């Protein structure tokens, strides 16, 4: 499994971000071919009592890195990327990574 993680900083206009994100951006993201699951949240909380480090988080899971890269390079992927500047005025960080199975950690610890 391979995951795309998108971290959105606090925007200049939170109400506009939320409206555009839910009504326009997420429907675009749902069109990404090969996505096994997508999710997002505006309820980002730090473990301590501090200010949340991000306004919104998005995750999308793909079978493998090649599938993710294919989706991002597609017409739909380009539409999603092109839409970000329409609402993410606070900036955004995008990363991707292979997702390990929690059982793998248990196996490593027991050897």
Please state, as a whole number, how many other Cβ atoms lie within 10 Å of the Cβ of residue 72.
19
Model pLDDT for residues 56-86, shown as the tens digit of each residue? 999 999 999 999 999 999 999 999 999 999 9
> What's the CA gap between 4 and 47, in Å, rounded?
22
Q: What is the pLDDT of residue 103?
A: 62
Domains belonging to the chain, first-starting first, are 2-109 (3.30.70.100)
The pLDDT > 90 percentage for the chain reads 83
Per-residue b or e along 16-55, where b marks 16 or more CB atoms closer than 10 Å to that residue's CB? ebeebbeeebeeebeebebbeeeebeeeeeeeeeeeeebb
């Amino acid at each position: 499994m391979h995951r795309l993680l998108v971290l959105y900083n606090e925007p200049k206009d939170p109400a506009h971000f939320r409206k555009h994100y839910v009504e326009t951006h997420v429907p675009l993201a749902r069109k990404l071919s090969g996505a096994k699951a997508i999710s997002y949240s505006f309820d980002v909380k730090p473990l301590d009592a501090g200010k949340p480090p991000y306004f919104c988080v998005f995750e999308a899971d793909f079978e493998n890195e090649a599938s993710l890269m294919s989706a991002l390079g597609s017409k739909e992927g380009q539409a999603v990327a092109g839409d970000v500047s329409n609402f993410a005025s606070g900036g955004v960080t995008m990363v991707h990574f292979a997702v390990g199975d929690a059982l793998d950690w248990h196996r490593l610890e027991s050897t």
